[in-house]
Amino acid sequence: MTVSDLSLFGGLGSALDAVSNEIAQTQTELATGKRVNQPSDDPAAFAQGATLATQQAALSNDVALATAAQNTLATADNALANAANALDSAIQQATEGSSGTLSAAQMATLGQTVGGLLAQVISAANLQYGGTYVFGGNQVLTTPYSSTGNYNGDSGSNAAVLSDGSTLQLTFNGAAIFGNQTSGAIGALVALQSALNSGDQAGTAATLPQLQAAVAQIAQARAQIGATSSTAAAVVTTDNSDLTTLASAQNDAVGADLTQLAATEQLQLTQQQALVSLGQALGKLPLINILA
């Protein structure tokens, strides 16, 4: 078969174009570290990689939310611990005040101490974290308790919503935990202070079961918050682990084998050089060069 000079050089040109395109593609993959840089590189892998990236973004947001929730809940737990300590002190005051050995003046002094404890509990109930009142239910911008123990919040709550639809409760119905002027911890403290101030031993003794119930209520709230905090910690741990898995899966879908690519690039550069050398050799081939 006759091989025309045009086809000889034309074929060489096509081969050089092809290997140059391959080198450009390899170098792009090496530069980005990705086998799939645009949808047409591998449409199915691109969609999979994009979906995995979205899942990673959602999980990262979950981790941020859960971490913030842990901080909020830890602060809330500290506040509840302070309230519990105050109630324990109040129980001591009530026990002492109901012993029948104190004078009215001494009981009034105890009443003053209980007033301080009441303020301590109200302060704990008015905990504000990040500009939000934690124990006001949905009324996060309103101070939940007045100085006299009147509850201004509501029975709602709000929560961080994670990407899987699960929630982490971040605000709580303060009345259900601390009560108000007539019930719960605050009600018990108000009653105790009043009984002590009036020298009412029987009344003082009557507050003891209320105070103990309030301690139990606080403990229950702490347990609930602790459970939520544990859930948040688990979310952080699990999601971080999932993020590692997703990153690996994404690398499998769109990532490049850099070692293999480097070897491929070397081979392609060698091919290119060989083709250039071939072109130089072809230029010397026509018979006219020999005849000359």
Partner 1 sequence: MSVNLDAIGLTGIYAAEAELAATESNITNASNANYSAETATLAVLPGSNGAGAGVEVVGTQRAEAPFLAAQINGVQADQNYNQALSQATSAAENYLTPSSGTNLGTDFQNLIDAYSNLAATPADPTVRTSVIAAATTLANDVGSLNTNLAAAAAGNLAQLGGLVSQVNGLSQQMAALNAEIQAAQPGNAGDAALLDQRDALANQLAGLIGATTDSAGNVTVGGIALVSGANALTLATTGSGSSTGLEVAFAQGSLPVQPTQIGGTIGGVLAAAASLQQLQTNVQNFATAMANAVNGVQQAGFGLDGSTGVPLFLLPTAPGGSITLNPAITPDNLAAAATAAGVPGDGSNAAAVVALASAVGLDSAFPGSTLGQAFNQIAADFGTTVSSASNNQQQASSTLSSLQQLKSSITGVSLNDQLSLMIEYQNALEAAGRAVQAASDMTTFLIQELNQ
The residue ranges that bind partner 1 (CB under 8 A) are: 1-7, 10-11, 14, 32, 37-44, 46-47, 50-51, 53-54, 57-58, 61, 65, 68-69, 130-132, 136-141, 154, 156-165, 167-168, 170-171, 285-288, 291
281/288 with CB nearer partner 1: 288
Element (H, E) at 161: strand 159-161
Shortest reach from residue 146's CB to partner 1, in Å: 18
Q: Which is nearer to partner 1, 160 or 211 (CB)?
A: 160
Q: Would you call 140 helix, strand, or coil by DSSP? A: coil
CA max distance for the chain: 136
Residue 53 or residue 205: which is nearer to partner 1 going by CB?
Answer: 53
> CB of residue 113 vs partner 1: minimum separation in angstroms?
34
Nearer of residues 38 and 150 to partner 1, judged by Cβ: 38
| 5 vs 153: CA distance, rounded Å | 92
Least distance (Å) between residue 114 CB and partner 1: 31
Q: From the CB of 93, what's the least distance to partner 1, in Å? A: 35
C-alpha to C-alpha distances, 78 to 81, 121, 147, 226, 272, nearest whole angstrom: 5, 12, 20, 11, 70
3-state SS class at 135: coil
Which residues are 180's β-sheet partners? 183
**At closest approach, how far in Å is the CB of 193 from partner 1?**
31
In the bound state with partner 1, the residue whose beta carbon lies nearer, of 206 and 278, is 278
Distance in angstroms (rounded) separating the CA atoms of residues 68 and 160 = 9
Contact assessment for residue 135 and residue 126, using Cβ atoms and an 8 Å cutoff: yes
